[in-house]
């Protein structure tokens, strides 16, 4: 019943496209993340649509995302649960919980630490495309803006646990330091990337230090003055 009127929208680009957009991550990492997301979604038993850059329509992220949501509703579904591919800690239980919460709430939001969201569950009757297009997409104001609009319209939001998206190098460190479980294959890839990044940073630091040292000598000024 509930499953039949709800669909999951995986709004995620191909691994190659994501690696272009987030150059500090590799296509291998995004390939693993895409596979994990699809696996979690299939395990939920909920109907789903995968919309990558090949099917997306629109010039901006807001347009592409709103059009994708609209396309799911146009396929006869009353509820949609949206997820991306950059949340390593996303679990099937988050999807199933959202499915049931949509029976009792107007919105379900999985907040990301950076102020956005990693999951959103909404009903067709509350989807206003014009409002969605005006949201501050891909900013740290998105979550607060959605909450504010919901309050003004007296809509109930059920919040899931906050999780980290992989948007920056700092996110990489935070996710690796987290006590939340992560698949071994993704953990290994992220660890390898982290240590490569650390080595690169160290090399840059040494180069900068040696360059500064040489420049100081050329100026005739000692690094340490013993007088």
d(CA 190, CA 195): 9
pLDDT at 169: 86
Residue with tokens 């992989």: 166
Torsion of Cα atoms, 100 then 56 then 50 then 162, to 10°: -50
pLDDT at 2: 65
Mean pLDDT, the chain cut into blocks of 10 residues (227 residues total)? 86 95 91 96 97 96 97 97 96 97 95 95 96 94 95 94 92 87 89 75 39 40 30
Closest among 8, 9, 6, 31 to 18, alpha carbons compared: 31
pLDDT at 178: 85
pLDDT at 52: 96
How many helices (H) does the chain have, and how many strands (E)?
8, 6
pLDDT at 198: 61
Could you say which of 3.40.50.12280, 3.40.50.620, 3.90.550.10, 3.30.70.60 is the CATH number of the domain covering 3-165? 3.90.550.10
Count other C-beta atoms under 10 Å from residue 33's C-beta.
Answer: 26
3-state helix, strand, coil in the chain (%, to 5): 50, 15, 35
pLDDT at 113: 93
């Amino acid at each position: 019943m509930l499953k039949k009127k709800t669909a999951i929208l995986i709004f995620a680009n191909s691994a190659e496209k994501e690696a272009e957009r987030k150059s500090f991550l590799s296509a291998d990492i995004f390939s693993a993340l895409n596979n994990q997301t699809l696996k979690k979604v299939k395990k939920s038993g909920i109907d789903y649509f995968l919309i990558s850059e090949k099917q997306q329509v629109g010039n901006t992220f807001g347009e592409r995302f709103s059009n994708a949501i609209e396309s799911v509703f146009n396929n006869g579904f009353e509820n949609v649960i949206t997820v991306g591919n950059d949340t390593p800690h996303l679990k099937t239980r988050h999807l199933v919980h959202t499915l049931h919460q949509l029976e009792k709430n107007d919105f379900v939001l999985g907040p990301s630490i950076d102020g956005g969201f990693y999951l959103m569950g909404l009903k067709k009757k509350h989807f206003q495309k014009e409002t969605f297009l005006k949201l501050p997409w891909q900013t740290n104001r998105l979550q607060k803006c959605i909450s504010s609009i919901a309050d003004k319209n007296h809509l109930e939001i059920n919040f899931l646990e906050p999780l980290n998206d992989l948007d920056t190098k700092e996110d990489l460190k935070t996710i690796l330091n987290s006590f939340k479980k992560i698949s071994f294959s993704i953990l290994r890839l992220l660890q390898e990337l982290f240590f490569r990044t650390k080595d690169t940073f160290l090399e840059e630091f040494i180069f900068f230090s040696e360059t500064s040292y040489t420049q100081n000598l050329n100026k005739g000024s000692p690094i340490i003055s013993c007088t």
